[in-house]
Structure 1
Amino acid sequence: MSDTEPAIVISTDELARRLQGDRPPHVVFVGDADVYASGHIPTAGRVDFADLNHAEPPASGLLPPMAVLGEVLGNAGIRPDQTVIAYDDSGGGRASRLVWTLHALGHWRAGILDGGLAAWREDGHPLTSGEPAPGAETAPYPAELRSPEVVAGEEYIREHLDEPGVCILDARSPAEYRGEDLRAARGGHIPGAVNVDWGDNRDPRRSGRLRPLDELDALYRSRGLRRDQEIVAHCQTHHRSSLSYVVLRHLGFEHVRGYAGSWSEWGNRPDTPVITGPEPLPPENGRDSGGAR
């Protein structure tokens, strides 16, 4: 790993080392102002998670308009020439949403801090409190959708539902996937979607850090994901599935998209196909064991 092209997941010790280097990355906390003020990584900027999301009913979790997004990123001190390391205090989904957003803008030098704020604190690295001192007015980030290949919409999924080279990854809980936990007008899952709860990416033995790479690889292989496929990750609003997006990139999957509208769009539309029930059967036994609605 070079100092100019970091891995998409970085350890606390590696970040601490690089912050002392000649070209330190720009660190950004994604979360609430009161958490940031109570203790944050020195020099870190902040993005409110809500500012990375835009609602157009029935969908929420969409990318904001580019002009709005440019102001949000600029206010956090993010510039196109920087390496950005995002972190949060809520399991990695918020930080990963910023990484996915930057990737969509063609800003590929972006990653997350493994374990976030809790890991940084546990490993004894310094924190500073309070709000940042007022500085010079920041310029808006020149936001433009330069990498549309990491974004998927409802129409894209409809067009690729029956393609074996495209896998829909549902990062919600199994109860949401089966249709038992209803968070939209309809419950269930997209036909053929594979369910890997976003929480399964984290290692309960390591203070919320990600599982080791070999365990993550085995997890996704056990669900039938292949590196030659295009993976489309979603949850309810592409919050949880943003962590899945980062993990798949971490594992070396090169063709990964995020469905920003996610189930807030698919489950609230009356004309989208929906399946209820458990995980799909293996391909040799049938496409899906649930019932279409």
Structure 2
Amino acid sequence: MDDSVVVSLDWLASRLDDPAVRIVDVRDAWEFDGIGHLPGAVNVPFDSYRDESDIDRGTLPGAEAFADLLGNAGLSPEDTIVAYDDTHGVFAARFVLTALEYGHEDVRLLDGDYSAWNREYETTSETAAFEPTDYDPDPLSPEESPLVSYDAVADALERDAVVVDTRELEEFEEARLPGAVRFDWREVVDDETRRLKPEAELEALLAAHGITPDREVVLYCNTARRISHTYVVLTALGYEDVRFYEGSLTEWLANDGEVETGPVAASEGE
């Protein structure tokens, strides 16, 4: 697993005193303050980096708005950021994807969430103080970005791309993109340890669904939250041709895109 993308609890624990490594907790403020958090973490709640108005590329908040959030948290473009939540990393992965899209070069997902950390390391209720910064974003160009549009996804359906639906079974059966493979994002997480499964197990699991590094992969869900986690995991495993359909099924249906319904045994890797 590439530690430039996903880092272990031990990796982070050994760097708590490194001022270049900054920890971002994306849980709600009441959890951060009332339950506790990792030492030195700053709170950037999930709802603060979503744009419900859908003005700027789906639910992304916009480069300037996101830069303001990071600046107010005392973060700089040169920092190594490690994000975590307490939901197996799905909300933190959305932060990672957003930061990458807006040009932060070194942002990583913690392998394991708050609960996993709390089993092995100390937490705190003390809030670290950081001076605000003037964060200057550098958004990726359309050519650099993994985000793809409705038209690009429609084109991918005509090729040998594997289109991956990361939602739950009942959602998948209600409506899905034509030929989509269902791969629940939670399949990569070990429920007992709350960490990612071993790399070899992940590769075998993905291959059983036809999701292999040699293929073009297009990810979607409903509103692009759950695919963030799958995107980060695939990237950490070395997949190079992974596309992220930000509009997901919500946009697809709004554009009257063709869908399939009902059960498909083959899509479950059977």
**Which of 214, 226, 250 is equivalent to 2:212?**
226
Tell me, in whole angstroms, the C-alpha distance in 1 between the residues paired with 2:97 and 2:45.
Answer: 15
Partner letter of residue 275 of structure 1?
E
Partner letter of residue 27 of structure 1?
I
For residues 199-244 of structure 1, the C-alpha deviation after alignment (integer angstroms, 9 at most, x for no partner) is: 11111231x1111111111111001112122222221111111111
Q: Within 5 A, what are the aligned runs for 1:69-84?
A: 69-84=66-81
Point out the more displaced range, 167-176 or 60-69: 60-69
Partner letter of residue 116 of structure 2?
A
Q: Which residue in the other structure is 2:122 paired with?
A: 126
1:32 aligns with 2:28: yes
Point out the more displaced range, 192-201 or 100-109: 100-109
Q: Which residue in the other structure is 2:145 paired with?
A: 149
Partner letter of residue 274 of structure 1?
V
For residues 43-64 of structure 1, the C-alpha deviation after alignment (integer angstroms, 9 at most, x for no partner) is: 1112121122223469995212
Partner letter of residue 266 of structure 1?
W
CA contact (8 A) 1:59 1:265 kept: no
Aligned length: 265
Tell me, in whole angstroms, the C-alpha distance in 2 between the residues paired with 1:34 and 1:130.
Answer: 13
Q: Which residue in the other structure is 2:105 paired with?
A: 108
Q: Which residue in the other structure is 1:182 paired with?
A: none
Tell me, in whole angstroms, the C-alpha distance in 2 between the residues paired with 1:234 and 1:163.
Answer: 17
User: How big is the shift at 1:65?
Assistant: 2.0
Q: Which residue in the other structure is 2:177 paired with?
A: 190
Structure 1 segments unaligned to the other structure (5+ residues)? 180-187, 283-293
Q: Within 5 A, what are the aligned runs for 1:163-174?
A: 163-164=159-160, 166-174=161-169
For residues 52-111 of structure 1, the C-alpha deviation after alignment (integer angstroms, 9 at most, x for no partner) is: 222346999521222212112222333211111100012211110111112222333221
Q: Which residue in the other structure is 1:262 paired with?
A: 248
1:54 aligned counterpart, secondary structure: coil
Q: Within 5 A, what are the aligned runs for 1:191-210?
A: 191-206=178-193, 208-210=194-196
59 and 190 in structure 1: CA distance in 2 versus 1, 3 angstrom threshold = farther
**Aligned residues with identical type, % of pairs:** 36
CA contact (8 A) 2:103 2:138 kept: no
CA contact (8 A) 2:111 2:196 kept: yes
Point out the more displaced range, 244-253 or 74-83: 74-83
Tell me, in whole angstroms, the C-alpha distance in 1 between the residues paired with 2:226 and 2:43.
Answer: 19
Q: Which residue in the other structure is 2:257 paired with?
A: 272
Tell me, in whole angstroms, the C-alpha distance in 2 between the residues paired with 1:272 and 1:59.
Answer: 21
CA contact (8 A) 1:70 1:143 kept: no
Q: TM-score, normalised by structure 1?
A: 0.82
Tell me, in whole angstroms, the C-alpha distance in 2 between the residues paired with 1:17 and 1:54.
Answer: 35
Tell me, in whole angstroms, the C-alpha distance in 1 between the residues paired with 2:58 and 2:31.
Answer: 22
Tell me, in whole angstroms, the C-alpha distance in 2 between the residues paired with 1:216 and 1:167.
Answer: 17
For residues 155-176 of structure 1, the C-alpha deviation after alignment (integer angstroms, 9 at most, x for no partner) is: 2212221110x22211100111
2:158 aligned counterpart, secondary structure: coil
Q: Which residue in the other structure is 1:253 paired with?
A: 239
**Which of 154, 167, 172 is equivalent to 1:177?**
172
CA contact (8 A) 2:89 2:109 kept: yes
Tell me, in whole angstroms, the C-alpha distance in 2 between the residues paired with 1:60 and 1:172.
Answer: 21
146 and 106 in structure 1: CA distance in 2 versus 1, 3 angstrom threshold = farther
Structure 2 segments unaligned to the other structure (5+ residues)? none
User: How big is the shift at 1:140?
Assistant: 3.2
Q: Which residue in the other structure is 1:49 paired with?
A: 46
